[in-house]
Amino acid sequence: MMPTIALSVENLSFAYGNKNRNKTALNQVNFTIRTGECTLLLGPNGAGKSTLFALITRLYDSRQGRIELCGFDVRRQSRRALAKLGVVFQQPTLDMDLSVMQNLLYHADLHGMDGKLARQRIQQELERLDMYERRFEKAKELNGGHRRRVEIARALLHQPSLLLLDEPTVGLDVPSRTAIVSYVHQLASDGQLAVLWASHLIDEVYPQDHLIVLHQGSIQANGPVSEVLAAAQTDTINAAFDHFTQAGKP
């Protein structure tokens, strides 16, 4: 079965400010992501990654261009489109005074799941992340890596088609970061989910990944890792990133 398109972004532009004085954050951005793909969105600070995620999740309204989630227009069919989306933001979003179970049950209720189904899904996702035994602990009692695991479990409860991750490993220790990177790649390789992962950490890219390099609001490279390396005429992702972002140059 051919992979389906989970996310389509067409001619997307966005600027902050007004017509007389604005700053372009995104300029004519185009790409697609399919089920079974893990796509790493690389870019230096200020490249436009967070703006792009805010537009996909409807935190901002896109006035130029089109975004579709599983064929549903994010602007005109917001509810149906966003139901296909699971999100882990860069900043922690758990309620620290609630237990792991309470955080997840609250999210499941927002998606309209009945109690029995919610508890089945919660057990399934927490077991996959080796967190089920800690379900009654408060979020504030967990370390950063375990909180991230809970946020990933929460994002997957409603079985989305696209998982959006905005630099989720920032500030984590190496073992926690390695475990999360491996787990997310496994989710994509299982073939039922598409992943869009915003990062500035080169070592989070796997050889089989799809790679998008964003710089100053424009896509500089877009394709499988092997094609991006060939276009940059280099054999390392770090050198390719420097090539496309002109690192160190004004």
Are residues 78 and 201 part of one domain?
Answer: yes
Those residues whose C-beta lies under 8 Å from the C-beta of residue 125, and which sit 6 or more positions away, are: 104, 152, 153, 154, 156, 157
Please give the structure tokens belonging to residue 69.
């989630």
In a domain, 26, yes or no: yes
Task: Give strand pairing partners of 13.
Answer: 64
**In which region does residue 210 sit, left (phi positive, over 0), alpha (psi from -120 to 50) or beta (all else)?**
beta
Give the model's pLDDT for residue 250. 39
Please give the structure tokens belonging to residue 59.
């935190």
In a domain, 16, yes or no: yes
DSSP symbol at 138 = B
Give the model's pLDDT for residue 21. 65
Are residues 106 and 50 part of one domain?
Answer: no
- Average pLDDT score over the chain: 91
Give the model's pLDDT for residue 173. 87
For 41, the enclosing helix (H) or strand (E) is: strand 38-42
Are residues 185 and 151 part of one domain?
Answer: no
Are residues 101 and 154 part of one domain?
Answer: yes
Are residues 173 and 147 part of one domain?
Answer: no
Average pLDDT over residues 137-166: 95
pLDDT in tens, 208-230: 999 999 999 999 999 999 999 99
Are residues 171 and 155 part of one domain?
Answer: no
In a domain, 218, yes or no: yes
**Does position 247 have pLDDT exceeding 90, yes or no?**
no
**Does position 148 have pLDDT exceeding 70, yes or no?**
yes
Are residues 114 and 145 part of one domain?
Answer: yes
Average pLDDT over residues 94-111: 95
Give the best-scoring range by mean pLDDT among 141-150, 171-180, 241-250.
Answer: 141-150
Residue at which a domain ends, from 159, 192, 212: 159
**Does position 20 have pLDDT exceeding 70, yes or no?**
no
> What percent of the chain clears pLDDT 90, i.e. is strictly above it?
74
Are residues 222 and 140 part of one domain?
Answer: no
Structural domain including 139 reads: 94-159
Greater model confidence, 136 or 89: 136
The pTM (predicted TM-score) of the whole model is 0.90
Are residues 172 and 111 part of one domain?
Answer: no
Are residues 244 and 211 part of one domain?
Answer: yes
Give the model's pLDDT for residue 91. 86
Q: How many domains does the chain have?
A: 2
Q: How confident is the model at residue 193 (pLDDT cuts 50, 70, 90)?
A: very high
Are residues 231 and 154 part of one domain?
Answer: no
Q: 88 and 164 in contact (C-beta within 8 Å)?
A: yes
Are residues 65 and 13 part of one domain?
Answer: yes
Q: Supply the CATH number for residue 65's domain.
A: 3.40.50.300
